[in-house]
């Protein structure tokens, strides 16, 4: 089969499109003919040896955590999944990933592909869709009519979070993005306002948009100065959920200094979000969330924006486009497009 894998870490060009053996199916496994491989920023971090909790430990290594397609083989002991089933899922990144024409997964980790949802759309519902859903529901504990600030609002997670916040009853939604084109996209997704988080002092615009009060919740996709500005735009008792880390920096904030300057002194809560908690401890919640997300898509309330769909052979180019912030929404590799 064809796969895009790395023999070392480095720039996008280390992704090599080449022939590799089809994975062997063992007891408890299923083999999926992969029709869509979703790309997440975590893939880029693992490729370039950036910040990510699960580093690449062996080479060559196939990247990618999301797949969608048809089951073509099952291992001994598998009873809940059969050949011909249409499925999608997230695999353990400690092994080979999904930038490949065939993917091996544990039978207990696959989900039925929802009716009316294409394989490419299904990948958007997985890591990014579930992250956006749980960030809004659990991370900032959104209540009806709460205001919310969403950083990187034109990206894969952010573009979904804007819409999910609206579905779940948010009041004012403020999206932050780095370019005029991306800010127009954020408004088109349903945000009430779109601001430029590359401008110094942008938290003042957040306060202006909330009549001086600040936002009740914030999704912070980066650390450093962006995070400090986020803190400055919070309302009393606000909740901040930190996810990602696209600038390669953990927040690194002097919380004592922030409090002495009047920020984080009004009972605000800052927490770190990790989807793997749900994978390890709340599988039933993941299944229910995927069902809800699929229904949002079918009803037209959740629009999936595929920034690009590229052949698997162009995996390196896909990484380059994401890394240089030239995409919006979900980027998907098509393993059989060549």
Confidence of residue 224 (pLDDT cuts 50, 70, 90): confident
Could you give the angle at the alpha carbon of 273 between the alpha carbons of 271 and 278, nearest 5°? 130
As to burial, measured by CB atoms within 10 angstroms (0-12 exposed, 13-18 middle, 19+ buried), residue 214 is: buried
Confidence of residue 122 (pLDDT cuts 50, 70, 90): very high
Confidence of residue 100 (pLDDT cuts 50, 70, 90): very high
Q: What value does the mean pLDDT take over residues 258-271?
A: 70
C-alpha 23/C-alpha 101 separation (Å) is 10
What pTM value is reported for the model? 0.90
pLDDT over 70 for what percent of the chain?
92
- Residue 119 pLDDT exceeds 90: yes
pLDDT at 51: 63
* CB-based contacts of 145, cutoff 8 Å, min separation 6: 169, 170, 171
Q: Which domains does the chain have, with CATH numbers?
A: 2-126+304-334 (3.90.180.10), 140-272 (3.40.50.720)
Answer for the pair 246, 41: CB distance below 8 angstroms, yes or no.
Answer: yes
C-alpha 317/C-alpha 321 separation (Å) is 6
pLDDT in tens, 287-328: 999 999 999 999 999 999 877 899 999 999 999 999 998 887
DSSP result, 114-153 = PTT--HHHHHHIIIIIHHHHHIIIIIS---TT--EEETTT
pLDDT in tens, 159-216: 999 999 999 999 999 999 999 999 999 999 999 999 999 999 999 999 999 999 999 9
Answer for the pair 3, 97: CB distance below 8 angstroms, yes or no.
Answer: no
Say how many CA atoms lie within 13 Å of 276 toward its Cβ.
Answer: 12
- Residue 155 pLDDT exceeds 90: no
- Residue 246 pLDDT exceeds 60: no
The residue assigned the tokens 């895009």 is: 4
Q: What value does the mean pLDDT take over residues 10-33?
A: 98
- Residue 268 pLDDT exceeds 90: no
Q: What's the mean pLDDT when you consider all of the chain?
A: 91
Confidence of residue 258 (pLDDT cuts 50, 70, 90): low
- 42-51 in b/e form (b: 16+ CB < 10 A) is bbbbbbbeeb
pLDDT in tens, 24-63: 999 999 999 999 999 998 899 999 987 666 778 889 999 9
Q: How many CB atoms lie within 10 A of CB 161?
A: 33
3-class state of residue 225 by DSSP: helix
The residue assigned the tokens 């990602």 is: 244
């Amino acid at each position: 089969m064809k796969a895009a894998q790395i023999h070392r870490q480095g720039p996008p060009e280390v992704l090599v499109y080449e022939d590799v053996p089809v994975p062997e199916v063992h007891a408890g496994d299923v083999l999926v003919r992969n029709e869509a491989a979703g790309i997440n920023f975590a893939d880029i971090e693992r490729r370039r040896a950036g910040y990510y909790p699960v580093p690449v430990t062996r080479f060559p290594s196939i990247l990618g955590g999301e797949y969608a397609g048809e089951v073509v083989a099952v291992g001994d002991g598998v009873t809940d999944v059969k050949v011909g089933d249409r499925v999608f899922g997230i695999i353990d990144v400690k092994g080979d990933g999904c930038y490949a024409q065939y993917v091996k997964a544990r039978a207990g980790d696959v989900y039925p592909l929802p009716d009316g949802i294409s394989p490419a759309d299904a990948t958007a519902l997985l890591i990014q869709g579930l992250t956006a859903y749980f960030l809004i529901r659990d991370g900032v504990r959104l209540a009806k009519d709460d205001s919310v600030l969403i950083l990187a609002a034109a990206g894969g997670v952010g573009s979904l979070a804007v819409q999910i916040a609206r579905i779940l009853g948010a009041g004012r939604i403020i999206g932050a993005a780095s370019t005029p084109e991306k800010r127009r996209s954020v408004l088109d997704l349903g945000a009430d306002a779109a601001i430029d988080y590359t401008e110094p002092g942008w938290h003042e615009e957040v306060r202006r948009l909330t009549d001086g009060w600040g936002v009740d919740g914030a999704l912070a996709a980066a650390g450093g100065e962006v995070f400090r500005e986020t803190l400055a735009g919070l309302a009393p008792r606000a909740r901040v959920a930190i996810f990602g880390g696209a600038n390669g920096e953990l927040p690194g904030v002097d919380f004592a200094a922030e409090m002495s300057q009047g920020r984080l002194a009004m009972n605000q809560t800052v927490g770190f979000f990790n989807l793997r908690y749900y994978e390890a401890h709340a599988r039933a919640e993941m299944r229910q969330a995927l069902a809800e997300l699929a229904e949002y898509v079918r009803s037209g309330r959740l629009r999936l924006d595929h920034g690009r769909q590229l052949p698997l052979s162009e995996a390196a180019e896909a990484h380059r486009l994401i890394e240089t912030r030239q995409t919006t929404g979900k980027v998907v590799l098509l393993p059989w497009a060549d």
